[in-house]
Structure 1
Amino acid sequence: MSIWSTPFLRRNQAAKTSKFPQESKYALIILNQPFSTPLFRQLWDASEWRCCADGGANRLYDLEGIVDKRECFLPNLIKGDLDSARPAVLEYYGSKGVAVIHDRDQDSTDLMKCVAALTEIETRENVQYDLIILGGLSGRLDQTVHTLSYLHKLRKQRNRVFAVTDESVGWVLDTGEHTIEIEHNALGPTCGLLPVGIGGTILSTRGLRWNLSNTPSSFDGMVSTSNHLVPGCDQVWVKTSKPLWWTAELRPF
């Protein structure tokens, strides 16, 4: 049984204690996609290591509400092929001591390069962070599909990887049983179970408005989109025969 929770989205960090306590350290990778200042601040404050993937540095530098406070929001690293980050932005962060790495590898994306850098740090520190990716689920379709594909593969390498936008949060549930703790002040009401990258799966759920019982799900058949979380129900249980994406609507900060 895998236990999932999203304390990094909790508005009041002291408001609720998980029934399944776990010591988590979070790493944040900022992609080159739009995001709001409130969401950014929430994820930045929850993270201990922060990285910009190439043009994500522009997004951070230009972010409304922190322009006069940039020195308070210095990432640990900027990495990528640096074809999107503006020279003035790289010069600014470099002058503040931020590591800027130009990786010319054409066989990996900027996101993949940042994850590789994080993995090197984890090896040295003998620790694994839970990874939060800010962006990746909106914008260009090819980039969105890459995020879906890459996180599908990462499930075998990392314990927990979350993709977050202003509209939703999502992650991959591997084959087996999962309990998802629901932060109702952060999530909902809509949610979905998406059979992406697989031929199909057999799904069972509890804690949703429209539950499934050994139900086949595939792109050629039923897909559980626009399902609903149940008010007052703090857990969702999912059993799946193949890996699939869980996604929930994110309430505005």
Structure 2
Amino acid sequence: MTILRPLSFLLPESAGTKIALIILNRPLDPSLTTKLWKKSVLTAATDGAVNQIGHCFSDKKEEFLPNLISGDFDSADPETLEFYKSRNVEIVPTPDQDETDFTKCLRLVCNRVNSAQVSSIVALGGFGGRLDHSLSNISSLYTARELSSVPVMLVSRSSVACLLGKGQHTLLCDTGLEGDWCGLIPIGCPADHVTTTGLKYNLTDQRMAFGELISTSNSIVDAQVTVDTDQPLLWTVGYKTGH
């Protein structure tokens, strides 16, 4: 049985939840980024994400120095990268083209943190923009399961997603930040036996597959949602902004 509180990383800093933060190459919301940065025990940026940090915090660059920057550096602005080098930020070249910058950065982060230090690894900028990038980020969630027991959350300005492995899961949806929609998606392969509780539209030992049944535009009705599945499923939920 896995117990997960998917939106705990969005709670106020006073709640004591610590995260590892990965900044991806997408435009950043200053408020959300600042909130997550303050909760982070380790902050990493992937390649062109250094440009996004520079744009977002142009007048506060000294306050927002990541712990490490990784990538093949085909997107990072050379002057921006040099600025971080001059501030002794760890720069890790990862030229391997068989994996995305996100996956390579995940490997570095997972080697540096564990479940005793952080409750989750949060990848900011996981959705939006190019569809192939969003899908590759979801694919990286499968790799992450082999690297660490720490759950990885893909985050955009209004939604969160994480991968639930085979077995039984209890999702604590009691933060008060949960939005009015959620979804359960068999994105890796079909799942033949899925049972849920706590949702408006529950499943009872049902099959889920693309071209058949998938659970979108669902909603949470209980503070505790359970999912029992024979294959990995993507859990996604909206969250309330402005907190």
Q: Normalising to structure 2: TM-score of the pair? A: 0.91
Corresponding residue of 1:234 = 223
2:240 is matched with which residue?
A: 251
Identity of aligned residues (%): 38
Q: How does 1:1-253 map to 2 (within 5 A)?
A: 1-5=1-5, 6-11=7-12, 13-14=14-15, 25-63=18-56, 66-122=57-113, 129=118, 130-159=120-149, 160-230=151-221, 233-253=222-242
Helix, strand or coil at the partner of 2:137: helix
Report the Cα offset of residue 168 of structure 1: 0.5
Structure 1 stretch 205-214 or stretch 48-57: which is displaced more? 205-214
The AA in structure 2 aligned to 1:40 is T
Q: 1:48 aligns to what SS in structure 2?
A: strand
**CA root-mean-square deviation:** 2.1
Which 5+ residue runs of structure 2 have no aligned equivalent?
A: none
Q: Secondary structure at the match of 1:150?
A: helix
Quickly say closer, same or farther: Cα 1:132–1:126, change in 2 above 3 A: closer
SS at match of 2:50: helix
Q: Deviations over 1:79-125 (max 9, x none)?
A: 10001010111111111121222322222221122122223434xx8
Give the gaps of 5 or more residues in structure 1. 15-22
Report the count of equivalent residues: 239
Question: How far did 1:185 drift?
Answer: 2.9
1:20 is matched with which residue?
Answer: none
Deviation, structure 1 residue 204: 1.2
- Preserved CA contact (<8 Å) 1:10 1:185: no
